[in-house]
Amino acid sequence: MNQEIEAGSVGIVQFSDYVFEDELPLDCGRSLKNVVIRYETYGTLAEDAGNAILVEHALTGDAHLAGKYSENDKKTGWWDEMVGPGKPIDTSRFFVVCSNIIGGCSGSTGPRSIDPDTGKRYNMKFPVITIADMVRAQERLMQHLGISQWHCVIGGSMGGMLALQWGVSYPEKVNAIAAIATTARVSPQGISFNWISREAIMNDPNWEKGEYEEQPSRGLATARMLAHVTYLSDESMNNKFGRGLQASDNFDFAFKKDFRIESYLEHQGTKFVERFDANSYLYITRAIDYFGLSDATDGNLAEALKPVHCPFLIVSFSSDWLFPSYQSQELVKALLKNANDVTYCNIQSSYGHDAFLLEMDSLGSLLSSYLSNLPENGADNE
């Protein structure tokens, strides 16, 4: 599966695709046929399959969690610093799984996949999906891999929502949860940013009601720029860019890129268009909007979390204004009300929401300690 190329690395890796034999029912009342889930694994599954960890990716992530696809690759997987032999998520101990969510555009079934009933791309005929649907698909993958209980489900941002949903949907199949820089329900502010992003895409004339052949690049880039601002903080932008000008010491007095932050955001938008799909962005952000664990319990989060009895690690970051610390603290209070074992840490950081991808030392230390002290799978967590 992989080979060592340097100390602490999982080495050269490859992805796998699992195709469902039967239909996947969805919350919207529809179902998907011939579902494909792309995933990667690292480490060795124990004989009793008790050492399996599921790592969930964020909104624009994928299954490529760690390692490289070839020695010539310039980039490693998106959380390579955290996953590998001797790293916080230690692949010499754990069998680590990461899968691309349904609705994505990195190998798993999504809106740009072929509809088996028509032979054409789904595009906007793809069913609206939820976070729970994504977890439902991953549970099928879990069965395929011969795993009956995850030792831990770990995720940041949207990945944290997926981790929390695992606890609610399949409490008996989760030994522990680590939810990082996330929320139990998306706020009106979060919904607002996602709405504006989708409007940018859908008002791009090249979107063509989702039937495009070439990306609606201007709309998708604008959506990414808006989202990227929410991942940063005022302090991090001031430290990195300030009010620095791009090309001269004076204002150009024109509507072009005067400031360095403007050029940076344009670069982020342009790079994003090269790797992500506009329709997938619409569907995944809508799934995030619909995420609210307490919606079915009239806002009572403790009641919504009653089925879950496993231990939790909850991590927030002081400068995260997309999913502020108070949202993690609400989650902690609800879990404590249910007598769950909860470890909480609010990490002081200037990086904003992106801190879960950047504060590797402090977050890595927390995760390593938490995983080392977890009960064995199947132990009584009540």
Q: Which residues are catalytic?
A: 157, 320, 353
Count of beta carbons in the 10 Å neighbourhood of residue 192:
11
Q: What is the DSSP string of 295-336?
A: GGGTT-HHHHTTT--S-EEEEEETT--SS-HHHHHHHHHHHH
Name the residue with tokens 């080392």. Answer: 372
Residue 277 DSSP class: -
Q: Are 150 and 371 in contact (CB under 8 A)?
A: no
Q: Are 187 and 328 in contact (CB under 8 A)?
A: no
The span from the CA of 359 to the CA of 368, in Å, is 14
User: Closest Cα to residue 340, out of 291, 307, 299, 378?
Assistant: 307
Residue ranges in the chain assigned as alpha helix (H): 131-144, 158-169, 188-202, 217-231, 234-240, 260-275, 278-290, 301-304, 325-337, 355-358, 360-372
